Chains A and B, each alone.
Chain A
Amino acid sequence: MYENNDPRTLAYVGKSVLRKDTSEKLTGTATYVSDMVLPGMLYAQVKKSPHARARIVKVDISKAKALAGVRAVLTGDDLDYRIGLYIVDKNILAKGEVRHYGEAVAAVAATSLEIARKAVDLIDVEYEVMQPVLNHMDALKTDAVLVHPDLGSYEFIEAAFTPVPKTNIANWTKLRKGDVEAGFAEAAYVVEREYDNPSVQHVPMETHVAIVRWGARDKVTIWSSAQSPFTVRNLFCHTFALPLGNVRVIVPAVGGGFGGKAGIHLEPLVACLSKKAGGLPVKLQASREEEFSLLPCRSALTYRIKTGVAEDGRIIAQKMEMFWDAGAYADYAVNVTRASGYSASGPYEIPNAWVDAYTVYTNKPYGTAYRGFGHVEFHWGVERHMELVARTIGMDPLEFRRRNALHPGSITLTGEKITSHTGDVVACMEAVARSIGYGKLTAAEKNRELATGRKIGKGIALLQKAPAMPSNTATAAVIKMNGDGSVTVNIGLTEIGQGSTTALAQIVAERLGFDIGKVHVMVDKDTESDPYDWQTVASKGLIMSGNACILACEDLLRRGYAVASHVLKACVEDLAHDGENVYVRHDTENCIPWRSIAIGYAYPDGKGIGGPLIGVGSYIAQGLSNLDKETGQGKPALDWTFGAHGIICEVDPVTGEYAVRKVASAFDVGKVVNPALLRGQIVGGMIQGLGTATCEGYIYDDAGHLLNPSFTDNKIPTARDLPMEIETIVVENSQIDGPYGARGVAEHPMISVAPALGNAIQSAVDADLAHMPIRFEDVWRAMHDKHPIDNWITKTPAGSCRSDPAARIHTPDAAISP
């Protein structure tokens, strides 16, 4: 909204203002839903399926019901509600059949956790185990078992998604730009290969938790660790056919989300238990193991890319096929597919493009949103592929990228024109290249190689992402002035750790010209008292709520000036203000303190005027459109954020063991609002990206049992896994419609860490990696030209057996030059 403000005129924007939520979080007094106990509260537990696919023959709950202290027992047969974000495909409790390991089959509410656990143990479920379909490539075969035989009858959002009845395809996103076959015909080189990655878990430190009280006359109150209270309310009311006003969703402090707490999860089940238990509040908190399999994960992806390149290294045509493993339910995976489909080339201009992106049902825990919304996964393929193409045609990988990267005037896959205000991906690339000394080794590095026998490699990867959201996504802010002239800001955006509360306080203080100490932003959220916000996802918080806050500030000032104009007997046009007073520009002593008009002004004779000052700002994404379902053309992106990572790593050429020595990350953030907060997002996201790159991933046996649902077997990075050196770099090409020029950057640091590492390893020891995560043994195998280990279905935890290699067409001999 405000472009190119002179940084010297800004008091708060651009400064490392301290976080607004630390007094509570540092002292253990911040209240998370996991900490809450309500009077009369019951504790819930879930009976889970030990099978990936089975018919439920009989559920015997008689012993559980008879246990003292048990207040409610539910099975799938008791509940006639289906839920689903985009495709309504999931029963609250499995009905007739279980579709993944860990799926909820029955649930209990009891007066203590111990009793609830015991009751769940007393439930007997008789299953008829059936053959599951586990690999998403197998699920595409014509004779594949159907995970949802009734897909054709499900309700779904038709404007955006295309399920294919009588198949396992939950959605098929298409994009067609130019003439891809003509492009290939013209190309001097055509390079094709397939890349893949398994499912992973978000691992918020606070597992999912909800407390629900289903009161009399269907008045429902929900306390949840949800990222998006208004979406919980909408979907909840849709499922149970309740008016929105009946349901109140409260979100206090949240212990991390990363996308896994977007949408709706435990709330409907807990609500049904509360209703069954006569309206007592019921609490359900997932165990860490349940977090892995009862709750959703990130989808696995197989990505096939075929690129046609001209003699001079320009990409002429590219065909992209994405196969997303939804798991048993569509949840967010269909939208991940859609968003990845229209962004599938990464930050490159492709004149002739063809994308088919499929969401494929399998009998595994289902996929949902995860930081990056598909972009972490497919950038692995894009940026490994760009490396491969550059090497194949004998061009420096940096030069190849420079030649093809989006620049002002480029047309994106969906037909959007890039301008100088969109952001500069090449500047990010050059910055990280400089930072790591790309393309050569320093004398010190050469000496180190000699001394250690290890090889040092350097790699780069670029990235892009825009918020994936409905074209009319909206939010609002309400700013209320308190009697002392301070303000309290209400927004529906949740604080899940990302720091929006602080950044928005800075924006409000900046626009009002108030001391930041006088700006309070509410951390706890309540759909009954906060203005609507679509969701806390998509890196949209700063840009959209920031704009709403600026509009609310302007509204507040307008209202304040109207009152002051009467009191000061001056035209509104002649007024100005500072943090303390409203005054007349040419007669500054003629002034009135904000606190005197904050809740209404009283003239000396006692007459009142004005009233409480409240500013309201509503902001809606503008100029976006639905995408054409046949061609994928349209405008889906509010703002593109570009970035790059550069990595220096050191690899043992004998064993394949490696260490990350340096990561340099650069993003075009438009405008830095808070450097310390931004660094926290960049480093935190980058380390999460390193987890994905190096070690995280679901491992199943060939019956579909998840083998590693714990921190023992599914490692995440610890302090010891930090690279020796981290550099965080910013480029600032301001976003015209961003608050003070800022754009979102919460997800982006996680994207493209893996391919930067893969490219670095390749440059060190020539290991050609197509699969992530990159474990030491994968490097060793790649050095010895063996297939990467398939991480997600194995005969044994350590095994390397693909369920059906023939189903997956690999073309490792990639280059076909005429």
Chain B
Amino acid sequence: MRINVTVNGIAYEKDVAENRTLLRFLREDLGLTGTKEGCGAGECGACTVFFNGKTVNSCMVLAVEANEGTIETIEGESSGGMLSRLQEAFDRHHAVQCGFCTAGMIMSARELIHHTPHPTVDQIKEGLEGNFCRCTGYEQIIEAVLDVTGGYTAKEELIHV
């Protein structure tokens, strides 16, 4: 089926198989490999993208469903070679280790900040609950989100004895 879809502000017209997921469409047909597959079953959040302004697990959406829709991915997060405030905060707080969950994490964090501009720690935990990270233990990710939303108080990384 032929679909028209706008991804990160660019309009695409493409033929896709009816059973192709949005995830594979983005990664394989458009070459936008920043969005990752961690499970292919709607469980891990690595494939999170914005679809018409809301986050979805793109492994659970068919590309044809995105016809006439708007998609935003990690590739659209920075602009003109400059990182977004959220990306900068992730960097400052060491919220990235292997980086495989990062794209999905940033998408979910952006959605959270969008509807809750000043989230509490519990709200952040809830907002990121669907995004697995096996490396960081989440704490530095939570701090990064607190930092961009004005809720962060600086503390020592480590206690020395």
User: Separation in Å of the A121 CB from the closest CB of chain B?
Assistant: 15
Contact A688 B137 (CB under 8 A): yes
Q: A26-B83, A27-B78, A728-B157 are in contact. Are A205 and B38 (CB under 8 A)?
A: yes
* Bound CA–CA A19/B103 (angstroms): 17
Say how far A521's CB is from chain B's closest CB, in angstroms. 16
A203-B134, A710-B43 given as contacts; is B94 within 8 A of A679 (CB)? yes
The number of residues on chain B lying at the interface, defined by a beta carbon within 8 Å of a beta carbon of chain A, is: 60
Taking A677-B94, A710-B39, A719-B129 as contacts, is the C-beta distance between A28 and B161 under 8 angstroms? no
Q: Which residue of A lies closest to B93 (CB)?
A: A676
CB neighbours (8 Å) of A57 from chain B are none
Shortest CB-to-CB span from B155 to chain A, Å, is: 10
A207: which B residues are within 8 A, CB to CB? 38
Complex alpha-carbon distance, A305 and B68, angstroms: 66
Q: Are A719 and B73 in contact (CB under 8 A)?
A: no
User: When the two chains form their complex, are residues A19 and B96 in contact, meaning their CB atoms are under 8 A apart?
Assistant: yes
Question: For window 692-711 of chain A, which residues contact chain B by CB distance below 8 Å?
Answer: 710-711
**Contact of A676 with B140 in the complex, beta carbons under 8 Å:** yes
- Docked CA distance A26–B86 (Å): 10
User: A716 to B133, alpha carbons, bound, how many Å?
Assistant: 9
One of A29-37, A97-105, A343-351, A801-809 contacting the partner: A29-37
A229 to B16, CA, bound (A): 37
B61 an interface residue at 8 Å Cβ cutoff?
Answer: no
Do residues A206 and B32 form an inter-chain contact, with CB atoms below 8 A? Answer: no
Residues of A contacting B90 with CB < 8 Å?
A: 22, 26
A710-B35 Cα distance, complex, nearest whole Å: 21
Q: Which residues of A contact B156 (CB under 8 A)?
A: 675
Quote the shortest CB–CB distance from B72 to chain A (angstroms).
12
Q: Mark B90-104, 1 if CB is under 8 A from A, else 0.
A: 111110111111110
Does the CB pair B46–A205 fall under 8 Å?
yes
**Interface residue A729 (Cβ < 8 Å from any Cβ of B):** yes
A716 with B157, Cβ < 8 A, contacts A205-B46, A722-B125 known: no
Chain A, residue nearest B45 (CB): A718
Measured in the bound complex, the distance between the Cα atoms of B46 and A32 in whole Å is 14
Taking the closest CB of chain B, its distance from the CB of A757, in whole angstroms, is 15
Q: A22, A672, A687, A732 — which one has the most chain B CB atoms within 10 A of its CB? A: A22
- Cβ of B13 within 8 Å of any chain A Cβ, yes or no, is no
A688 touches B134 (CB 8 A): yes
Looking at B93, B130, B133, the one whose CB has the most chain A CB atoms below 10 A away is B133
B97 to chain A, nearest CB (A): 4
The 8 Å CB contact of B100, one of A16, A23, A256, A687, is A256
Contacts known (A22-B96, A34-B37, A720-B125); A729 close to B159, Cβ less than 8 A: yes
Residue A255 CB within 8 A of the other chain: yes
**Residue in chain B with minimal CB distance to A726:** B139
List residues of A (6-31) whose CB comes within 8 Å of B's CBs. 16, 18-19, 21-31
Question: Which residues does chain B contribute within 8 Å of A612, judged by CB atoms?
Answer: none
Residues A497 and B41 in contact, CB atoms below 8 Å apart: no
Q: Scoring B residues 35 to 58 as 1 if CB is less than 8 Å from chain A, else 0, what string do you get?
A: 111111101101000000000000
Chain B residue with minimal CB distance to A731?
B161
Query: Among B38, B73, B93, B99, which residue has the most Cβ atoms of chain A within 10 A?
Result: B99
CB distance A28 to B34 under 8 Å? yes
Min CB gap B30→A, angstroms? 12
Which of A35, A257, A679, A710 is close to B158, meaning CB atoms less than 8 Å apart? A679
A680 in complex: contacting residue of B78, B94, B131, CB < 8 Å: B94
When the two chains form their complex, are residues A675 and B157 in contact, meaning their CB atoms are under 8 A apart?
yes
Please state if A255 and B96 are interface contacts (CB–CB under 8 Å). Answer: no
Q: Does A381 contact B (CB under 8 A)?
A: no
Known contacts A18-B92, A711-B41; A683 and B137 CB within 8 A of each other: yes
Give chain B nearest CB distance to A753 CB in angstroms.
11
A677 nearest in chain B by CB position = B94
Report the bound CA distance from A732 to B152 in whole Å.
28
| A297 close to B (CB within 8 Å) | no
Assess whether A70 is interfacial by the CB under 8 Å rule: no
How many angstroms from the CA of A669 to the CA of B82 in the assembled complex?
Answer: 36
Q: Does A685 contact B (CB under 8 A)?
A: yes
Q: Which of B73, B77, B129 contacts A718 (CB 8 A)?
A: B129
Residues from chain B with a CB closer than 8 A to the CB of A678 are: 157-158
A732 to B159 CA separation, bound complex (whole angstroms): 11
A255-B100 contact, Cβ under 8 Å, with A712-B41, A719-B142, A730-B160: yes
Contacts A26-B106, A679-B94, A683-B139 given; indicate if A204 touches B134 (C-beta within 8 A): yes
Q: In the complex, A530→B18 CA distance in Å? A: 45
B120 at interface, CB cutoff 8 A: no
A496 at interface (Cβ–Cβ under 8 A)?
A: yes
Q: Using Cβ atoms and an 8 Å threshold, which residues of chain A touch B103?
A: 28
B11 lies within 8 A of chain A by Cβ: no
State whether the Cβ of A498 lies closer than 8 Å to any Cβ in chain B: yes
What CA separation (Å) do A224 and B124 show in the bound complex?
A: 35
In the complex, the answer to whether B161 meets A205 with C-beta atoms within 8 Å is: no
A334 to B100 alpha-carbon distance, docked (Å)? 31
- CB A21 to nearest CB in B, in angstroms, measures 7
A758 CA to B15 CA, complexed, in Å: 56
**B41–A25 touching, CB < 8 Å:** no
Q: How far is the CB of A233 from chain B (nearest CB, A)?
A: 22
- The yes or no answer to B132 lying at the interface (CB within 8 A) is yes
* B136: Cβ under 8 A from any A Cβ: yes
CA distance A232 to B137 in the complex (A): 29
| Residues on A with beta carbons closer than 8 Å to the beta carbon of B64 | none
CA distance A427 to B161 in the complex (A): 8
- Chain A residues lying within 8 Å of B37, measured Cβ to Cβ, are 34
Is there contact, CB below 8 Å, between B94 and A28? no
Which residue of the partner chain B has the closest CB to A291?
Answer: B39
Assess whether B14 is interfacial by the CB under 8 Å rule: no
A431 within 8 A of B: yes
- B130: chain A residues within 8 A (beta carbon): 718
User: Are A25 and B96 CB-contacts (below 8 A) given A256-B134, A711-B41?
Assistant: yes
B125-A719 in contact (CB<8A): yes
Given contacts A25-B99, A679-B158, A711-B44, contact A686 B137 (CB under 8 A): yes
Closest to B103 in A: A28
**Which residues from chain B sit less than 8 Å from chain A, CB to CB?**
27-28, 32-41, 43-44, 46, 73-75, 77-78, 83, 87, 90-94, 96-103, 106, 124-126, 128-142, 156-161
- Enumerate the 4 nearest inter-chain pairs by beta-carbon distance, A residue then B residue, closest first: A28-B34, A497-B98, A25-B99, A255-B100
Instruction: Given contact pairs A37-B28, A718-B128, enumerate 18 new A-B contacts (beta carbons under 8 Å).
Output: A25-B96, A26-B78, A26-B96, A28-B75, A32-B36, A203-B134, A204-B100, A206-B38, A207-B38, A256-B97, A258-B134, A499-B94, A675-B157, A683-B139, A684-B97, A719-B138, A729-B158, A730-B160
Task: Enumerate chain A interface residues (CB-CB to B < 8 A).
Answer: 16, 18-19, 21-32, 34-35, 37, 202-207, 253-258, 287-288, 427, 431, 435, 496-499, 666, 672, 675-680, 683-688, 710-712, 716, 718-720, 722, 726-732
A-B contact pairs, 29 of them (CB 8 A): A21-B99, A22-B91, A26-B96, A27-B74, A28-B34, A28-B77, A29-B75, A205-B132, A205-B133, A205-B135, A206-B100, A207-B38, A255-B98, A256-B134, A431-B159, A497-B97, A497-B135, A672-B158, A676-B93, A683-B136, A688-B137, A711-B44, A712-B41, A718-B128, A720-B126, A722-B137, A728-B158, A730-B160, A732-B160
